[in-house]
């Protein structure tokens, strides 16, 4: 049994992985789900018909893009809750409370007011994660990773927008207190391809007490 499998009883039963575009949250989410045999709850960006148009013309398509994601995430959460016979045992690559972060960043004042009304009228009974993992990386690192993974629509994302998004995430999690929080500096480590880096993280999250914590290890040479 690997080190990542020995502490399953101490592992949070519901983990949410968050961070800006290109930071690697979905890849880490998939790996954690495989390690702990957890249900996957993934953002389905590829199903949003407005997303490509948003990257081409953010001002024109921001509201439609944001509302689609809101309805999609609300539906995913409801379906997941209906499938739970007991307490949730899952890992997801989004936190519904973060949805407002994108709305504030991308919508005009009147659009945001409309979005907020819709949000308030939706019944989103989202379970609270036992642990939120917030992946951080500088804007230049995010740009490099976006370029490397080669998704055509994402190549239109500008550094200025990514920088604004990064700052918004930093502010959001500075005040976040909804659950145990682990802030991970992922700029120089590879939590997906490097087993040693990943094992360090898994060992760390299985021993965390309540509160906010930081994971800033030296990159492994393995």
C-beta separation of 136 from 187 below 8 A: yes
Degrees, nearest 5: CA angle 21-22-28: 105
Q: How far is CA 142 from each of CA 27, 120, 193, rounded to the nearest angstrom?
A: 14, 32, 17
pLDDT, one tens digit for every residue, the chain (222 residues): 444 444 445 678 899 999 999 999 999 999 999 999 998 999 898 899 999 999 889 889 999 999 999 999 988 888 877 766 446 678 999 998 888 899 999 999 999 999 999 998 886 777 889 999 999 999 999 999 998 888 887 888 889 999 999 999 999 999 999 899 999 999 989 898 899 999 999 999 988 888 999 998 776 655
- In the chain, where are the structural domains located? 3-215
CATH number for the domain whose boundaries are 3-215: 3.40.50.300
Query: What would the pLDDT profile of 53-103 be if each residue is shown by its tens digit?
Result: 998 898 899 999 999 999 999 888 888 777 664 466 789 999 988 888 999
Question: Which two structure tokens, joined as six digits, stand for 119?
Answer: 């949000």
Per DSSP, the three-state class of 30 is helix
Question: Which two structure tokens, joined as six digits, stand for 1?
Answer: 């049994």
pTM attached to this predicted model: 0.88
Distance CA(105)–CA(109), nearest Å, equals: 10
Q: What is the pLDDT of residue 3?
A: 45
- Exposed / middle / buried, residue 176 (Cβ in 10 Å: 0-12, 13-18, 19+): middle
Q: What is the pLDDT of residue 1?
A: 40
């Amino acid at each position: 049994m690997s080190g990542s499998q020995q502490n399953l009883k101490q592992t949070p039963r519901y983990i949410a992985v968050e961070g800006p575009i290109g930071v690697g949250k979905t890849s880490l989410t998939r790996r954690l789900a495989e390690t702990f045999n957890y249900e996957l709850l993934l953002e389905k960006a590829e199903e949003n018909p407005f997303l490509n148009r948003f990257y081409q013309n953010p001002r024109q398509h921001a509201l439609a893009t944001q509302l689609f994601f809101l309805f999609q995430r609300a539906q995913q959460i409801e379906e997941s809750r209906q499938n739970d016979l007991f307490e949730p045992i899952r890992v997801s690559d989004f936190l519904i409370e973060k949805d407002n972060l994108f709305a504030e960043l991308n919508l005009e004042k009147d659009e945001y007011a409309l979005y907020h009304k819709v949000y308030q009228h939706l019944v989103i009974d989202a379970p609270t994660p036992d642990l939120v993992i917030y992946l951080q990386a500088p804007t230049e690192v995010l740009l490099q990773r976006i370029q490397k993974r080669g998704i055509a629509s994402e190549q239109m994302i500008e550094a200025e927008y990514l920088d604004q998004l990064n700052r918004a995430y930093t502010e959001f999690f500075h005040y976040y207190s909804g659950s145990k929080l682990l802030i991970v500096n992922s700029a120089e480590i590879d939590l997906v391809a490097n087993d040693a880096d990943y094992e360090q993280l898994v060992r760390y999250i299985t021993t965390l007490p309540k509160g906010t914590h930081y994971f800033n290890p030296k990159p492994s040479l393995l």
